[in-house]
Amino acid sequence: MTLPWLRPAWEAPRGVHAAFTLRSGGVSAPPWDSLNLGRHVGDDPRAVAINRQRVVQGLALPAEPCWLEQLHGNEVHEADAAPRPEAAPPPRADAAVTRQSGVVLAIQVADCLPVLLAAEDGSVLGAAHAGWRGLVGGVIEQTVATMGGPPERLVAWLGPCIGPERFEVGAEVREAFLTAGDAPEAFRESPAGRWLCDLPAIARARLQRLGVGRVAGGGWCTVADPAQFFSHRRDQLTGRMAALLWRET
């Protein structure tokens, strides 16, 4: 069976590969149908294991992805450390960095924004889970800092997330972003008297402030497309997709 997936269009250097999985092509039953990759959402662990193996095989990955236990924070996992035992729990972090070929970084999402980063020479890769809490907490800045080197020599891709027409937040969330230095233009008042938040615009602005000028992607809404994407905001109990990044061996 051919595995459906989204191929990022960005200025990745030669030998660097990225992919974003879609919700179809797996074996999970509703409401996780069907390519759920998250072990923490109540799905049958056997189905998740089959789905993860389908991703490895279908995308010809060089290794099992480095799955994280994501916490909506700003901790960055250095994925080049000694291999973890197979039964060990996943690292508790919301971003990962590698300087080695054959290491597959993975960010799981179902509305939060995945951010992929690569040095223009392919020497270092980074991936971040940027929901609103992670963005406010500086997960992008921490990832770029951990990667090292001049930020202007990085390229970035923003994957599917909850779009600016669907991400309604309260005044306290808007205030948290404004206090962190984000522009009020990323928010529009909603008919319900709350605020519509543009996560990709905030991420793009933060990357550009750091010096990362080549930023692609950010044009999909997970909530608006149930055929392709899982969405926690839309469905509550649902699966997880993955943004994957690696350098060929």
> Does residue 192 fall inside a structural domain?
no
Q: Is the pLDDT of residue 71 over 70?
A: yes
| 196 in any annotated domain | no
Q: What is the pLDDT of residue 2?
A: 78
In a domain, 51, yes or no: yes
Q: Is residue 65 in a domain?
A: yes
Answer whether residue 195 is part of any domain. no
Q: In the predicted model, is pLDDT for residue 59 greater than 70? A: yes
* Domain-located, residue 61: yes
Ramachandran angles phi, psi of 92, nearest 5° = -90, 100
Cα distances (angstroms) measured from residue 72 to each of 131, 139, 156, 213: 7, 9, 20, 25
Long-range contacts from 59-62, C-beta under 8 angstroms, 24+ separation:
59/3, 59/5, 59/19, 59/244, 61/104, 61/244, 61/246, 62/101, 62/102, 62/104, 62/246, 62/248, 62/249
Q: What is the mean pLDDT of residues 185-204?
A: 96
Q: Is the pLDDT of residue 183 over 80?
A: yes
Q: Is residue 47 part of a domain?
A: yes
Q: How are beta strands 113-119 and 125-130 bridged, if at all?
A: antiparallel
Query: Is 35 inside a domain boundary?
Result: yes
229 three-state secondary structure: coil
Q: For the chain, how many structural domains are there in total?
A: 1
Q: In which element (H, E) is residue 119 found? A: strand 113-119
For the residues 178-200, what does the mean pLDDT come to? Answer: 96
Mean pLDDT of the chain: 96
Structural domain boundaries enclosing 127: 5-149+157-162+217-247
CATH number of 221's domain: 3.60.140.10
Average pLDDT score over residue span 14-43: 97
pLDDT score recorded for residue 33: 97
Q: Is the pLDDT assigned to residue 195 strictly greater than 80? A: yes
What band does 81 get if pLDDT is binned at 50, 70 and 90? Answer: low
| DSSP tag of 161 | B
Split at pLDDT 50, 70, 90, the class of 82 is low
